[in-house]
């Protein structure tokens, strides 16, 4: 019962106009684009077996691709295209958020529309088409006046399926920068805010159900020839779209966009920066749950204005530099490298959040494992878990090469879950983060890295090229630089990973600022 009366429901409700409006906008656009493409293709292919097989085969292949992968693939493709058009024709566009989401979701909607349109037209009794020709109708007149009206209920069933698929899959567009109802789910999973997860699921399911029932009303009206049902369904959809889009269209567009990656600390720091910008009177919005490469590219292209990254991530993952240098030398070179891309490294926040291999302290002591060198001798009998990125990152390759690590099993999971997994014995070792408050909560020990395979990971503030000379932005963030210790960040992260109302990112950010302001 405590979950039902949790005050975080009010916080979730406050985000609903923005999240729902953007979700409907991208879903409606994608579905409309999918219909515009699919319907003519189905008409062209209905009597051409080879073309029909090719089109349905392509749509089927697209449908087998995981939704998140399809959405993610469009971002780098559009980014490369935007770079080329800007260079060659001085015509640029944003490859972030809305456009890749619409294109991917439009492809996802094609299969049911294509299949049902072709099936509906092929299912018409040939005697009816012959009769139409017999009374002097042309092929076009027969299609428009006889075949399509008869096939329309079947076609509408395909549109219903496509609409539900698009609305559901649109929740996965958050990692590429498109605000949607998925923002609840991704943020809730990362911060263990189950109210947000539940709210996002209910909202997405409710939207899909309402749209499906309105389309079902249209479908039944067409089938039994009741124009009033068709009209009510169409009016209902128009009202739904208008009601959900109105708040987002009338709201003033925020001037500053703060980005965040896909883990708890990033949500807290994004909320902290947003808090400071709002205190300075600057309009601000956040784009959360972004992958490392996506958020950096978004900053470079001006789709995100400011976010916190980590020196080691940029050094190894973004710029693919393999040699590990002392902290100050690395930061100096990194600042110069970023400057060549017109990206400003404003400064360090004061703590380091490095990747680290972690074990329960009691087990590490029992096995006399205190460093990664000690671990290497026993790794063959152990399992390791990391987040979704870790095993594809250069740091893991370097660790394996330098220490000769070879584990019995590797598992990937959401970052908060892997801490619970190592605590329960489901895995033996995890690739965690040195600033995570869950280290203390679960009694874990950080294994030493005597050969310095893992680079420094200072938390640094990056500013986009278009904000490089923005004095107000710099002044708002300046009080944060050098003021957040590792101990303070660990406590903030621990608070944000709680399960009560005080664990929201905004609440923790305000607490963190109060601690900073005390110094």
pLDDT in tens, 345-363: 999 999 999 889 999 999 9
Angstrom distances, CA of residue 161 to CA of 3, 112, 387, 448: 33, 6, 33, 53
289 in Cβ contact with 190 (< 8 Å): yes
What is the distance in angstroms between the CA of the first residue and the CA of the last residue of the chain?
Answer: 40
* Distance separating alpha carbons of residues 464 and 158, to the nearest angstrom: 44
- Categorize the per-residue pLDDT at 490 as very low, low, confident or very high, splitting at 50, 70 and 90: very high
- Summarize the confidence of residues 30-58 as an average pLDDT: 92
- Categorize the per-residue pLDDT at 250 as very low, low, confident or very high, splitting at 50, 70 and 90: low
To the nearest 10 degrees (0 to 180), the angle between helices 148-169 and 194-223 is 180
Q: Tell me: pLDDT of 207 over 70.
A: yes
pLDDT of residue 252: 62
Q: Tell me: pLDDT of 393 over 90.
A: no
482 in Cβ contact with 347 (< 8 Å): yes
- pTM: predicted TM-score of the whole model, two decimal places: 0.81
- Summarize the confidence of residues 286-312 as an average pLDDT: 90
pLDDT of residue 440: 86
372 in Cβ contact with 357 (< 8 Å): yes
pLDDT of residue 87: 77
Q: Tell me: pLDDT of 392 over 50.
A: yes
Q: Which residues of 380-401 are buried (b: 16+ CB within 10 A; e: fewer)?
A: eebbbbbbebbbebbbbebbbe
Instruction: State which of 87-96, 133-142, 379-388, 411-420 shows the largest mean pLDDT.
Output: 379-388
* Distance separating alpha carbons of residues 270 and 274, to the nearest angstrom: 6
pLDDT of residue 404: 92
* Distance separating alpha carbons of residues 237 and 515, to the nearest angstrom: 49
CA-closest candidate to residue 75, choices 57, 96, 58: 96
- Summarize the confidence of residues 221-230 as an average pLDDT: 85
* Distance separating alpha carbons of residues 134 and 142, to the nearest angstrom: 10
Strands across the sheet containing 383-386: 409-412, 383-386, 429-433, 355-360, 444-446
Helix then strand then coil, in percent of the chain rounded to 5, is: 65, 10, 25
Percent of the chain with pLDDT over 90: 50
Q: Tell me: pLDDT of 1 over 50.
A: no
Q: Tell me: pLDDT of 122 over 90.
A: no
515 in Cβ contact with 488 (< 8 Å): yes
pLDDT of residue 249: 65
CA-closest candidate to residue 441, choices 412, 467, 420, 465: 420
Q: Is 430 exposed, middle or buried (0-12, 13-18, 19+ CB in 10 A)?
A: buried
- Summarize the confidence of residues 387-408 as an average pLDDT: 88
Q: Tell me: pLDDT of 368 over 80.
A: yes
* Distance separating alpha carbons of residues 8 and 199, to the nearest angstrom: 10
Q: Tell me: pLDDT of 42 over 80.
A: yes
pLDDT of residue 2: 58
435 in Cβ contact with 426 (< 8 Å): no
* Distance separating alpha carbons of residues 146 and 151, to the nearest angstrom: 9
Q: What are phi and psi of 257, to 5 degrees?
A: -115, 120
pLDDT of residue 4: 64
- Summarize the confidence of residues 283-306 as an average pLDDT: 89
Angstrom distances, CA of residue 410 to CA of 317, 357, 415: 20, 13, 14
Q: What are phi and psi of 131, to 5 degrees?
A: -65, -40
* Distance separating alpha carbons of residues 140 and 118, to the nearest angstrom: 16
43 against 504, higher pLDDT: 43
CA-closest candidate to residue 67, choices 153, 154, 140, 175: 175
* Distance separating alpha carbons of residues 91 and 512, to the nearest angstrom: 43
DSSP secondary structure string for all residues of 61-108: HHHHS-HHHHHHHHHHHHHHHHHHHHHHHS-----SSHHHHHHHHHHH
pLDDT tens digit string along 495-507?
887 756 567 888 9
pLDDT of residue 479: 95
* Distance separating alpha carbons of residues 459 and 273, to the nearest angstrom: 13
Element (H, E) at 362: helix 361-366
Q: Is 80 exposed, middle or buried (0-12, 13-18, 19+ CB in 10 A)?
A: exposed
Q: Return the HEC string of 132-166.
A: HHHCCCCHHHHHHHHHHHHHHHHHHHHHHHHHHHH
* Distance separating alpha carbons of residues 27 and 460, to the nearest angstrom: 36
Element (H, E) at 28: helix 8-45
């Amino acid at each position: 019962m405590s979950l039902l009366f949790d005050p975080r429901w009010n916080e979730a409700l406050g985000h609903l106009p923005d999240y729902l409006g953007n979700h409907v906008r991208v879903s409606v656009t994608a579905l409309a684009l999918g219909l515009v493409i699919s319907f003519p293709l189905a008409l062209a292919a209905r009597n051409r077996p080879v073309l029909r097989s090719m089109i349905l085969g392509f749509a089927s292949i697209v449908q087998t691709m995981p939704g998140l992968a399809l959405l993610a693939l469009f971002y780098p493709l559009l980014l490369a295209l935007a770079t080329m058009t800007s260079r060659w024709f001085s015509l640029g566009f944003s490859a972030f958020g809305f456009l890749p989401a619409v294109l991917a979701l439009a492809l996802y909607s094609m299969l049911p529309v294509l299949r049902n349109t072709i099936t509906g037209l092929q299912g018409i009794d040939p005697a009816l088409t012959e009769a139409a020709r017999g009374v002097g109708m042309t092929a076009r007149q027969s299609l428009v006046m006889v075949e399509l009206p008869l096939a329309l209920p079947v076609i509408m069933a395909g549109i219903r399926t496509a609409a539900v698929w698009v609305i559901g899959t649109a929740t996965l567009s958050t990692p590429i920068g498109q605000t949607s109802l998925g923002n609840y789910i991704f943020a809730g999973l990362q911060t263990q805010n189950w109210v947000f997860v539940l709210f996002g699921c209910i909202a997405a399911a409710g939207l899909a159900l309402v749209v499906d029932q309105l389309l079902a009303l249209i479908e039944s009206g067409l089938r039994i020839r009741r124009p009033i049902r068709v009209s009510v369904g169409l009016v209902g959809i128009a009202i739904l779209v208008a009601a959900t889009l109105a708040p987002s269209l009338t709201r003033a567009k925020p001037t500053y966009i703060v980005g965040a990656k896909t883990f708890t600390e990033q949500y807290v720091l994004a909320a902290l920066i947003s808090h400071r910008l709002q205190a300075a009177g600057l309009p601000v919005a956040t784009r959360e749950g972004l992958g490392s490469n996506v958020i950096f590219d978004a900053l470079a292209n001006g789709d995100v204005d400011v976010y916190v990254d980590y020196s080691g991530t940029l050094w190894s993952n973004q710029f693919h530099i393999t040699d590990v240098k002392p902290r100050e030398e690395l930061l100096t070179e990194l600042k110069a490298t970023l400057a060549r891309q017109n990206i400003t490294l404003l400064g360090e926040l004061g703590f380091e959040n490095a990747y680290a291999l972690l074990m329960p302290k009691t087990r590490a002591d029992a096995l006399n494992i205190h460093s990664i060198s000690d671990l290497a001798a026993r790794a063959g009998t152990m399992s390791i878990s990391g987040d979704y990125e870790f095993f594809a990152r250069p740091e893991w390759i370097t660790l394996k090469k330098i220490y000769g690590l070879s584990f019995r099993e590797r598992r990937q999971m959401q970052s908060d879950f892997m801490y619970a997994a190592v605590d329960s014995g489901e895995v033996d070792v995890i690739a965690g983060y040195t600033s995570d408050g869950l280290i203390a909560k679960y009694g874990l020990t950080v294994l030493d890295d005597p050969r310095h395979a893992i680079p420094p990971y200072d938390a640094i503030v990056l500013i986009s090229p278009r904000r490089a000379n923005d004095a107000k932005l710099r002044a708002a963030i300046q009080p944060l630089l050098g003021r957040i210790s590792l101990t303070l960040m660990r406590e903030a992260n621990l608070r944000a990973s709680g399960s009560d109302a005080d664990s929201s990112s905004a609440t923790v950010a305000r607490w963190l600022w109060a601690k900073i302001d005390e110094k």
